[in-house]
């Protein structure tokens, strides 16, 4: 039996390991009724395996490659070239060559063929690997085809393919290569068809790129293609490009570039009828594979041929819904300053805490606001409350509403009271409140929270087994009630609205922007800013002991507290750190995900910040920093009141402004406490769940405690009840989480998959300004430090931190920086609140800021008007 080749007609997706992703997809395509696929066959992975097996040169080079990181570019280039050369030196066996030649005869040995690489890690739902290996067009004759098959095998180790595998976590030894040998089509036009718009993500829109001649000109970027967009049998957009070149096959083999006659350069590559035919073909193929496809097509003699189809791996997944109604999804992560993927238990915990259903997709949580946008009353509140914090979301909403093609306005029913519900979602009717709360209310709310958490810690100790799961699910209503408590919400909204009032009126009366940012410095009862100052105090305890500082510099992410006792002052340092952890140890980066490692679980995460603080500040910086902020705020207050009194109706203006300043300073700090309350509860729940997981490990049900992170609460209850675990489910969830980590979630997305991108509308800015949302006033210049995770922080005093997002755990870094730039965030997200309290100019909500601003560049940050300049 010939094990070296398989005809397309004998291939389906089950033969992936034998024919690679491209080959498996071609086999599937050949089985779809009405789809024309040029005939061909695959040289199987067995042929490649036999070629390279027991080759000591290749083995040794693979060993060298296995230890490299993606940034070792020069070494990757060198070793990859050696592997390719070694593979091309290995002769093809006589049996192998004979099998290939015989299969050529069964198709058409005189025909021209395309010879293409087909790796087992290629054209998969999780990674496309598109263009990573080589393709040879118009190969004619047995000798040329065998030569190009050999080159395809070697191309498994092109520099780009090796780097891509490293980046995506694929083992070089586990990836094997088949080769597709397919009869050539000599088209008048060719191109690519996406069954979902690759730019907007809209699953209802087919996007077609087309050019004259072979599609190679388009893929290689030699020509600008025509682009056609089709929705439900209607061409909704055409962009006809000037096409000066085409690639055509030549009779003796290979291809050549050819100039297009001037009178043809601006003609459509396809007729409207052909465009609609391609849409139908695309939808047929998509239905077969069950997901959006990236399809290569050719048009020859008015017949469309399909030469490849692969999943579109760049689309953000959609939440699963059971209806065909329109849905509008708003990212919860953008509101919570944590857009990373979450594990299933983390998602389940947040959903329990939430005040309304929260669909998930791509390891992220969303809120469906379609019904709110369809209601004129709720729409107004949603756009103004959520939009006040994040103008990009507001602009996305208004863009969607102005189009009128997705959300239909419905008559308002009798409004139901929704006391205390916080956005996203319909806010309470008093969302514009400016209530004159007695300042003592903040202390009362904090006291109620602390009492409730102490009771929770006590009660949960008696819970185990399925009773623990039931208890957590039942008691999360306390968390919901705390976040949505009418007084709690009223206090937060009053602080926000007082800031808005001050900014609006003082700009109008005095011509001064963002005054509230200065007035917010060093307000009382801000648990997050207090945390940053408390870590400065910990650094002061460490500072006098050089031996301990040297020891901490060597600690590599491991337990270290017990080792401190060997040093002079070690007990004092340990006490200071443990005191800090008692109050703040439940925090960490990405803390809304209960599965994230908390500072109490790994105190070593705090060491870089402590050492940076010691390096850049003198003892007592905590008190000095707070006093400076307080003095600036009080001085600003006196200055404003003095200027107001000189205006017409000055006393009245000054009195009302005094009221607003007092509301702001008395209440604004509380904005951070509800999150602290939630995270504190999470840590109590987490410790209890891990204790239960340890019992399951002891019983042999789990291999590791952390396996529970990949289960929902209902699944975990079943594991506890039955003492049975589906290991394959855990492994699938782990693989899925790794894929989700690489995705970038949208702020706003429809159930069609369309990502609605908001825009900042600003005028009179410098021409090259990078525009964002101003959240903390001031203009400063400094070195940009692009930091993607807190443990990479290597900051110098005066640096401007540029990062994807900051949640409360990043606050200790704020004491060492001069300004803040983030990709995610709004006016009232945690980074913005703390930046204002610390007096740090800040601009947030800049898409791809960590790519547009390079580490080490000198930049000017304008936190008053919301833009960055590269100097």
- Please confirm whether the linkage preceding 424 is cis (ω < 30° from 0): yes
Q: Are 783 and 856 in contact (CB under 8 A)?
A: yes
Residue with tokens 């009126």: 505
| Nearest residue to 467 via CA among 701, 725, 722, 721 | 721
| Nearest residue to 666 via CA among 443, 505, 825 | 443
* Distance between CA atoms of residues 80 and 455, nearest Å: 62
Q: Are 484 and 421 in contact (CB under 8 A)?
A: yes
What is 761-786 written as a DSSP string?
A: ---S--TT-EE-EEEE--EEEEEEEE
Q: Are 630 and 524 in contact (CB under 8 A)?
A: no
* Distance between CA atoms of residues 311 and 195, nearest Å: 10
Task: List Cα–Cα distances, 30 to 10, 11, 34, 543, in angstroms.
Answer: 9, 9, 9, 72
204 CB-side CA count, 13 A: 14
The three-class DSSP label of residue 258 is: strand
Q: Which two tokens stand for residue 240?
A: 């006809």
Measure the CA angle with vertex 569, ends 563 and 573; round to 5°: 65
* Distance between CA atoms of residues 805 and 811, nearest Å: 12
Residue with tokens 């103008």: 391
Q: Are 385 and 423 in contact (CB under 8 A)?
A: yes
Q: Which two tokens stand for residue 788?
A: 């993607």
* Distance between CA atoms of residues 267 and 261, nearest Å: 11
* Distance between CA atoms of residues 191 and 215, nearest Å: 5
The three-class DSSP label of residue 638 is: helix
Q: Which two tokens stand for residue 224?
A: 């600008």
Q: Which two tokens stand for residue 752?
A: 């069609």
Task: List Cα–Cα distances, 262 to 190, 210, 243, 710, in angstroms.
Answer: 20, 18, 9, 60
Task: List Cα–Cα distances, 644 to 508, 633, 635, 639, 640, in angstroms.
Answer: 11, 16, 14, 9, 6
Spot the catalytic one: 103, 148, 150, 830.
830
The three-class DSSP label of residue 296 is: strand
Q: Are 428 and 384 in contact (CB under 8 A)?
A: no
* Distance between CA atoms of residues 764 and 338, nearest Å: 32
Longest dimension (CA), the chain: 101
Q: Are 618 and 573 in contact (CB under 8 A)?
A: no
Q: Are 551 and 566 in contact (CB under 8 A)?
A: no
Q: Burial letters for 418-445: b for 16+ Cβ neighbours within 10 Å, e otherwise?
A: bebbbbbbbbbeebebbeebeeebbeeb
The Cβ of residue 810 has, within 10 Å, a number of other Cβ atoms equal to 25
Q: Are 213 and 248 in contact (CB under 8 A)?
A: yes
* Distance between CA atoms of residues 60 and 66, nearest Å: 10
| Nearest residue to 495 via CA among 443, 445, 444, 431 | 431
* Distance between CA atoms of residues 121 and 16, nearest Å: 9
Q: Are 45 and 5 in contact (CB under 8 A)?
A: no
Catalytic-residue membership of 830: yes
Kindly report the backbone phi and psi dihedral angles of residue 364, in degrees, each rounded to the nearest multiple of 5, phi listed first.
Answer: -120, 160
> Mind telling me the catalytic residues?
830
């Amino acid at each position: 039996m010939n094990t070296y080749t398989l005809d397309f007609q004998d291939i389906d997706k089950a033969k992936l390991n034998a024919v690679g992703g491209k080959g498996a997809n071609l086999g599937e395509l050949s089985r779809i009724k009405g789809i024309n696929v040029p005939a061909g066959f695959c040289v199987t992975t067995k042929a490649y395996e036999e070629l390279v097996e027991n080759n000591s040169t290749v083995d040794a080079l693979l060993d060298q490659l296995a230890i490299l990181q993606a940034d070792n570019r020069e070494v990757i280039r060198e070793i990859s070239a050696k592997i390719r050369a070694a593979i091309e030196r290995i002769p093809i066996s006589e049996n192998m060559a004979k099998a290939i030649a015989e299969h050529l005869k069964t198709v058409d040995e005189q025909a021209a063929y395309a010879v293409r690489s087909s790796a087992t890690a290629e054209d998969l739902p999780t990674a496309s690997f598109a263009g990573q290996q080589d393709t040879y067009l118009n190969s004619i004759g047995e000798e040329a085809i065998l030569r190009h098959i050999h080159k395809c095998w070697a191309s498994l180790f092109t520099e780009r393919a090796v780097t891509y595998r490293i980046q995506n976590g694929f083992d070089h030894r586990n990836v094997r290569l088949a080769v597709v040998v397919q009869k050539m089509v000599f088209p008048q036009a060719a191109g690519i068809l996406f069954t979902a718009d690759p730019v907007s993500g809209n699953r209802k829109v087919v996007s077609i790129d087309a050019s004259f001649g072979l599609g190679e000109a388009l893929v290689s970027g030699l020509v600008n293609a025509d682009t056609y967009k089709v929705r439900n049998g209607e061409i909704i957009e055409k962009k006809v490009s000037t096409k000066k070149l085409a690639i055509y096959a030549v009779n003796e083999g290979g291809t050549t570039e050819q100039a297009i006659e001037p009178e043809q350069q601006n003609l459509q590559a396809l007729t409207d009828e052909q465009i609609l035919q391609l849409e139908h073909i695309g939808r047929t193929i998509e239905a077969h594979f069950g997901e959006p496809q990236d399809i290569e097509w050719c048009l020859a003699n008015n017949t469309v041929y399909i030469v490849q189809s692969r999943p579109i791996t760049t689309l953000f997944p959609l939440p699963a819904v059971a209806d065909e109604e329109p849905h509008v999804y708003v990212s919860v992560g953008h509101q919570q300053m944590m857009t990373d993927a979450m594990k299933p238990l983390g998602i389940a915990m947040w959903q329990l805490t939430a005040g309304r259903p929260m669909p998930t997709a791509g390891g992220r949580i969303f809120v469906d606001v379609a019904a709110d946008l369809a209601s004129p009353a709720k729409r107004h509140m949603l756009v103004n409350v959520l939009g006040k914090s994040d103008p990009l979301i507001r602009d996305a909403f208004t863009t969607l509403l102005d189009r009128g093609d997705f959300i239909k306005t419905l008559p308002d029913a009798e409004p139901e009271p929704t006391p205390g519900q916080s956005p996203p979602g319909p806010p309470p009717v008093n969302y514009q409140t400016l209530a004159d709360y007695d300042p003592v209310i903040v202390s009362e709310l904090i006291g109620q929270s602390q009492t409730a958490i102490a009771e929770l810690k006590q009660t949960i100790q008696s819970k185990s087994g399925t009773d623990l799961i039931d208890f957590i699910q039942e008691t999360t209503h306390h968390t919901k009630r705390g976040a949505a408590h009418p007084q709690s919400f009223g206090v937060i909204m009053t602080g926000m609205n007082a800031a808005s009032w001050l900014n609006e009126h003082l700009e109008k009366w005095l011509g001064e922007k963002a005054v509230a940012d200065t007035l917010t410095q060093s307000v009382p009862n801000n648990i997050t800013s207090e945390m940053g100052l408390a870590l400065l105090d910990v650094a002061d305890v460490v500072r006098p002991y050089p031996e301990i500082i040297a020891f901490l510099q060597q600690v590599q992410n491991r337990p270290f507290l017990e080792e401190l006792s060997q040093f002079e002052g070690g007990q004092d340092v340990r006490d200071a750190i443990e005191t800090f952890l008692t109050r703040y140890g439940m925090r960490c980066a990405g803390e809304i995900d209960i599965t994230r490692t908390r500072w109490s679980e790994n105190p070593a995460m705090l060491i870089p910040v402590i050492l940076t603080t010691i390096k850049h500040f003198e003892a007592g910086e905590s008190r000095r920093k707070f006093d400076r902020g307080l003095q600036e705020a009080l001085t600003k207050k006196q200055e404003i009141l003095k200027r107001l009194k000189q205006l017409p109706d000055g006393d009245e203006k000054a009195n009302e402004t005094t009221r607003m300043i007092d509301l702001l300073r008395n209440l604004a700090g509380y904005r951070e406490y509800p999150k602290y309350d939630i995270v504190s509860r999470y840590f109590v729940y987490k410790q209890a769940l891990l204790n239960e997981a340890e019992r399951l490990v002891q019983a042999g049900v789990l291999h590791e405690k952390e396996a529970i992170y990949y289960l929902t609460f209902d699944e975990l209850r079943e594991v506890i009840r039955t003492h049975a675990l589906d290991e394959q489910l855990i492994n699938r969830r782990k693989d899925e989480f790794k894929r989700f980590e690489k995705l970038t979630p949208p702020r706003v997305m429809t159930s069609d998959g369309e990502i609605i991108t908001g825009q900042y509308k600003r005028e009179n800015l410098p021409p090259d300004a990078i525009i964002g949302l101003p959240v903390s006033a001031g203009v400063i210049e400094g070195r940009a430090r692009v930091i993607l995770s807190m443990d990479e922080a290597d900051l110098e005093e005066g640096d401007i931190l540029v990062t994807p997002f900051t949640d409360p755990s990043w606050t200790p870094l704020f004491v060492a920086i001069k300004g803040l730039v983030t990709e995610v965030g709004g006016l009232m997200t945690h980074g913005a609140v703390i930046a204002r309290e610390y007096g740090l100019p800040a601009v947030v909500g800049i898409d791809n800021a960590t790519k547009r601003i390079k580490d080490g560049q000198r930049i000017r940050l304008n936190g008053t008007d919301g833009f960055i300049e590269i100097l």
